[in-house]
Amino acid sequence: MRQRELSNVKVECVQGDIADQPDMDAVVNAANAQLRSGGGVAGALHAAAGPELEEAGQHHAPLEPGEAVITDAFKLPNDYVIHCLGPVYDQDEPSDKLLASCYREALKLADEHGIGKIAFPSISTGAFGYPVEAAARVAMHTIKKVRSELQNVVHIRFVLHTTSDQHIYDDIRKELSL
């Protein structure tokens, strides 16, 4: 509790749709390397943002695992989309370091752009096969490590697709006193 007050960054875990977070300044995309639409998070964000999001992404493609880039959010109710390419589990190694890099780089970009409120999905735990509990641990540990360096980010929301994933993320958040 004391650390949370010191760092002044609120962390929460909600069940919902990453494409429907109108009170957030930025949403994070679990992108593919080509920054194209697809299934899961990328499909939902591209459908809501419109075709300009793919066009904007083409200037940055291809992404490397662990990398993050920022674009406009177009028709989404947010100012920015930050696109992260998570590791494919058991293929892109070391997967924990690459996943941590996604969260670190996304938060760094957000902070540099003066973003106060940012929503993350559960990167890599869909098509890329990362076990949810292990991924949640990497995400929360990374936030715990970098939060004191953040100047602008004050609110980090995890938007989980299922209540079961929400509970997994929230239990680890509490375990780490975030």
What is the contact surface with ligand ADP in residues (CB under 6 A)?
17-19, 30, 39-42, 44, 86, 121-128, 159, 161, 165
Report the nearest approach of ligand ADP to the CB of residue 126 (Å): 2
Report the nearest approach of ligand ADP to the CB of residue 135 (Å): 9
Which of 56/121 has CB closer to ligand ADP?
121
Closest residue to bound ligand ADP by CB: 126
Which of 7/71 has CB closer to ligand ADP?
71
b/e per residue, 103-122, with b = 16+ CB within 10 A? Answer: bbbbbbbbbebebebbbbbb
Cβ atoms of 81 and 45 within 8 Å: the answer is: yes
Which of 116/129 has CB closer to ligand ADP?
129
Report the nearest approach of ligand ADP to the CB of residue 178 (Å): 20
Cβ atoms of 28 and 81 within 8 Å: the answer is: yes
Which of 71/125 has CB closer to ligand ADP?
125
Give the phi and the psi of residue 146 in degrees, each rounded to 5: -100, -10
Beta partners for 28? 82
Cβ atoms of 117 and 25 within 8 Å: the answer is: yes
